[in-house]
Structure 1
Amino acid sequence: MRKEPTMSTTGSAADRHVPVLRDRIVELLAPALDHEGAVAVDGTLGMGGHTEALLQACPQATVIGVDRDTDALRLAGERLASYGDRFVPARAVYDELPEVLADRGIAQVDAVLFDLGVSSLQLDEAERGFAYRHDAPLDMRMDQTDGPTAADVLNTYDAAELERILRDYGEERFARRIAAAVVREREKAPFDRSERLVELLRAAIPAASQRTGGHPGKRTFQALRIEVNRELDAWRTALPAAIDALAVGGRIAVLSYHSLEDRITKRALTAGARSTAPPGLPVELPEHQPYLGLLTRGGEEPSEQETQTNPRAASARLRAAERTRPTKGTRS
């Protein structure tokens, strides 16, 4: 049996983080950053692995690294200190990209990267409550200074709302059964730690499904994380804003790990790559022409070799596109 590699949960960001599809992302974005004054945005900085790769490969580029997690910003800042002012940290959620750019007097950028989902930092620090294999407070906030926790969701949502988020965000077949169990058990005592929730899930999910479907906590923990951090709502706002921020010739790359995230990405990029001319129009007017060109064929997947080295890459899907013409507010 192959032994999965382990990652350090202490030490520098470089020791703790393996960026998914790093070389392919650099290959896709570097052509847009090969000029003086080029600006890229890493909308999900994490521990800075993708940003470091872009700074190394594109010596004329500056990268703005956006993250809501203060621990991530600190670790990435240490990792990228040698690049001086070519790295610009920004504490924000990625759907605040227009404000991040406006605060810095930047109208357009040349590349944008999003690596969606939970970061290695958050998964590896047990006390954050993201990982179902460790007993920890049910927090799951990417920004631990703001907003409701996973415990708040479990203890206050009614059964129908719990069922909805488990079904929609976790794609959990037994959402109704789990929601009913949560409501019943919280009457005895509020949920506050992950171990109790995992015990409930082991009892609620049929044994046959647990044998074939992986850890019983996987889908519920994913659903709670997405709900707590409003990830899909933020993504629906962030992606069009990022596309609008691209200069002509600018490129965007998105790594998704969840089918709903990938569906939002696919729809936005393919819509931009499609003509909007009415059928039968003899001449396609400029405003009907596509404003994006797709750079990937469907959602690219990591190689088997990469997933063996970095198991967290297994569910990743990469999509990328290039801005091909200006739209309102885009410089040519």
Structure 2
Amino acid sequence: MKHISVLLHETIDMLNIKDDGLYVDCTLGRGGHSSEILKQCTKGHLYAIDCDAQAIQESSERLKQVGTNFTCIHDSFQNLGSILDSMGVEAVDGILLDLGVSSPQFDDEKRGFSYRMDARLDMRMNQEQQLDAWMVINSYSKEELSHIFKEYGEEPFAYKIACQIEKVRKEKPIDSTLQLVDVIKQALPEKVLRKKGHPAKKVFQAIRIEVNHELDQLSIVLKEGLKRLKPNGRLVVITFHSLEDRIVKQIFKEVAVPKKVDKRLPELRIEKLDYQLINRKPVVATNEELIDNNRAHSAKLRGIERIGSECEKM
């Protein structure tokens, strides 16, 4: 399946790219957003990060067709600070995060992300790491599994599914994606199975988040990204589920929205904010984009801009 970058034009517009600026695409993927950044950043430089070695290899060739002023880095975006330090870069004009699984990862059945194709349980974005979905399903306790399904998947039948997994794996390991789908279905009431939507979707999301430590890494990179913005620099984020969006919204709010005070008390000092929200309500896909790209349905785009006079460490 062809990879279509979600909210491409809206994201590039929000970055407000300068032709001589420094930019970081923390989620290179297959290079859709990075290519557009390079087209406008002709005299500056783009640093493109991805923990998927295959993405680095394929996208490097794509970016070379646009320009040579880029550097691809095979690493986790949670290491943004040390990556920029190693490049001798203190601050940048823009940072992009396009979260979630890229289409090529999802469509490659060998990667084990999909609940519709049979493959070994994997779900690693970085295939060099040890923890994978097989280890989560076959070695975590039912209490740990239940917590993951509830917290990361918001699955109402988290405990029942965890108990069923424990029961089945006592006989033999659960090795494949479709084996896991069958186990999940065994734990769910018939009325739930008849509902629209795949019954394993929430559990698979939860496992993927656990395997890749997605939410922890997101909090780390957002806080580091804010520190690394130049004045008028922008950090923009595309999220694909409520947990991600909640983290982005909260961290942005902490630095860009004045704290509420009791109006009856005399104002001792005006709170100085170094950031401002670009948009209070998230940008979502147009009807035209939804027709061409079904995966854009849950996408939300938020942005923040630094307005301080200097890039101080927070």
> Runs of at least 4 residues of structure 1 off by over 4 A?
276-279
Q: Indicate if the aligned counterparts of 2:18 and 2:40 stay in contact, CA closer than 8 A.
A: no
In the alignment, the residues of structure 2 paired with residue 179 and residue 213 of structure 1 have an alpha-carbon distance, to the nearest angstrom, of 22
The corresponding residue for 1:137 is: 120
* CA displacement, residues 282-324 of structure 1 (integer Å, 9 cap, x when unaligned): 442xxx3111111113222111221121001110111001101
The corresponding residue for 2:43 is: 60
Matches within 5 A, 1:42-81: 42-81=25-64
1:26 maps to a residue whose letter is: I
In the alignment, the residues of structure 2 paired with residue 112 and residue 132 of structure 1 have an alpha-carbon distance, to the nearest angstrom, of 32
Say which of 127, 137, 142 aligns to 1:154: 137
In the alignment, the residues of structure 1 paired with residue 132 and residue 268 of structure 2 have an alpha-carbon distance, to the nearest angstrom, of 56
In the alignment, the residues of structure 1 paired with residue 196 and residue 127 of structure 2 have an alpha-carbon distance, to the nearest angstrom, of 31
After superposition, the Cα gap between the structure-2 partners of 1:77 and 1:138, relative to the gap in structure 1 and judged at 3 Å, is same
Say which of 157, 160, 182 aligns to 1:174: 157
The corresponding residue for 1:11 is: none
The corresponding residue for 2:292 is: 309
In the alignment, the residues of structure 1 paired with residue 239 and residue 136 of structure 2 have an alpha-carbon distance, to the nearest angstrom, of 24
The corresponding residue for 2:70 is: 87
1:218 maps to a residue whose letter is: K
User: Which segment drifts farther, 158-167 or 203-212?
Assistant: 203-212
After superposition, the Cα gap between the structure-2 partners of 1:61 and 1:209, relative to the gap in structure 1 and judged at 3 Å, is farther
Q: Where in structure 2 are there 5+ consecutive unaligned residues? A: none
In the alignment, the residues of structure 2 paired with residue 277 and residue 245 of structure 1 have an alpha-carbon distance, to the nearest angstrom, of 27
The corresponding residue for 2:193 is: 210
Q: Indicate if the aligned counterparts of 1:132 and 1:217 stay in contact, CA closer than 8 A.
A: yes
2:97 maps to a residue whose letter is: F
In the alignment, the residues of structure 2 paired with residue 328 and residue 275 of structure 1 have an alpha-carbon distance, to the nearest angstrom, of 20
The corresponding residue for 2:84 is: 101
The corresponding residue for 2:8 is: 22
Q: Where in structure 1 are there 5+ consecutive unaligned residues? A: 1-6, 8-15
The corresponding residue for 2:206 is: 223
Offset, 1:132: 0.6
2:161 maps to a residue whose letter is: I
Q: Does 1:128 align with 2:114?
A: no
Offset, 1:326: 4.2
TM-score for the superposition, normalised by structure 1: 0.90
* CA displacement, residues 183-242 of structure 1 (integer Å, 9 cap, x when unaligned): 000000011111110111122122221222411111111110000000011111111001
Q: Identical aligned pairs, as a percentage? A: 37
Offset, 1:116: 0.7
In the alignment, the residues of structure 2 paired with residue 200 and residue 305 of structure 1 have an alpha-carbon distance, to the nearest angstrom, of 38
Say which of 277, 281, 289 aligns to 1:298: 281
In the alignment, the residues of structure 2 paired with residue 90 and residue 97 of structure 1 have an alpha-carbon distance, to the nearest angstrom, of 10
TM-score for the superposition, normalised by structure 2: 0.95
3-state SS, counterpart of residue 303 of structure 2: strand
In the alignment, the residues of structure 2 paired with residue 171 and residue 157 of structure 1 have an alpha-carbon distance, to the nearest angstrom, of 18
2:172 maps to a residue whose letter is: A
Q: Does 1:238 align with 2:221?
A: yes
Q: Does 1:118 align with 2:101?
A: yes
1:71 maps to a residue whose letter is: Q
1:233 maps to a residue whose letter is: D
